[in-house]
Chain A
């Protein structure tokens, strides 16, 4: 796992992470102003997935993937539980 990337590869990963970072803000707009509850739930779920990938990219940049995999797994898990909770809340309220 401890593999030293070249400088080009590190720059590539950083650019990839910055692109995902910009996309998170687009999702955040949809989650804040998006019409309806379903758009917001989908946007929050997408933000969680993008954060997970950004965390893994950070792990690759710092050459410590074995640590960042743990954090991103927890993030995916809590994202899943959060989505289920929002879906249950919607089911009870009955507004879609």
Chain B
């Protein structure tokens, strides 16, 4: 499923569509707190754009954009943002993920600090979900081959 296709229509449509899909995913993440959507949904859309790229441009070219290792790093980074904001609230003397306490370091009123805090958490969730979605699809389409045994990937893909 992941070999390079020579279909010009599919690859051209995907190339035109992918930036708009990613822009829409960013919109869903950013407007998560006053419209349907949020971190998870936006992350799924962002992951779907990478999956579309992998489907239309083949495994080798997709690996140059987003490799398995990069996906793992991104998922850990998103989790770091999420838990970092939560633990920062905890360190400031409030409950876990109680963003009102962030107003002391952000120098804004507590209501605005809550809005900014939940936005930061949603960005973290979005990054993590995008990377995990891509990683799951990567694993399924390569048959679970790890980055170490790259040489075994070629004949399994045929």
Report A-chain residues with C-beta under 8 Å of the C-beta of B56: 84
Contact between chains at B36 and A70 (CB < 8 Å): yes
Contact between chains at B28 and A70 (CB < 8 Å): yes
Instruction: Determine the main DSSP class of B at the interface with A.
Output: helix
Complex CA distance for A85 and B14, rounded to whole angstroms: 12
Whether B52 sits at the interface, judged by CB under 8 Å, is: yes
Whether B37 sits at the interface, judged by CB under 8 Å, is: yes
Residue of B nearest to A70 (CB): B36
Residue of A nearest to B137 (CB): A85
Give 1 or 0 for each of B34-47: 1 = CB within 8 Å of chain A CB. 01110001000100
Q: Smallest distance from the beta carbon of A75 to chain B beta carbons, Å?
A: 11
Of residues 12 through 60 on chain B, the ones whose CB sits less than 8 Å from some CB of chain A are 21, 24, 28, 35-37, 41, 45, 48, 51-52, 55-56
Contact between chains at A70 and B37 (CB < 8 Å): yes
Q: Which of B5, B21, B24, B28 meets A88, CB within 8 Å?
A: B5
Whether A37 sits at the interface, judged by CB under 8 Å, is: no
Counting contact residues on chain A (CB < 8 A from B), the size range is 10 to 19
Contact between chains at A77 and B48 (CB < 8 Å): yes
Report A-chain residues with C-beta under 8 Å of the C-beta of B41: 74
Whether B111 sits at the interface, judged by CB under 8 Å, is: no
Whether B73 sits at the interface, judged by CB under 8 Å, is: no
Whether B10 sits at the interface, judged by CB under 8 Å, is: yes
Q: Smallest distance from the beta carbon of B140 to chain A beta carbons, Å?
A: 11
Contacts A67-B36, A85-B1 known; list 19 others, CB within 8 Å.
A67-B35, A70-B35, A74-B28, A74-B41, A77-B24, A77-B48, A81-B48, A81-B51, A81-B52, A81-B55, A84-B10, A84-B52, A84-B55, A84-B56, A85-B55, A88-B5, A88-B55, A91-B5, A92-B1
In order of increasing CB-CB distance, the 10 nearest A-B pairs are A88-B1, A81-B52, A67-B36, A92-B1, A81-B48, A70-B36, A71-B36, A88-B55, A67-B35, A84-B55
A-B contact pairs, 13 of them (CB 8 A): A66-B35, A67-B36, A70-B35, A73-B24, A74-B28, A74-B45, A81-B51, A81-B52, A81-B55, A84-B10, A84-B55, A88-B1, A89-B1
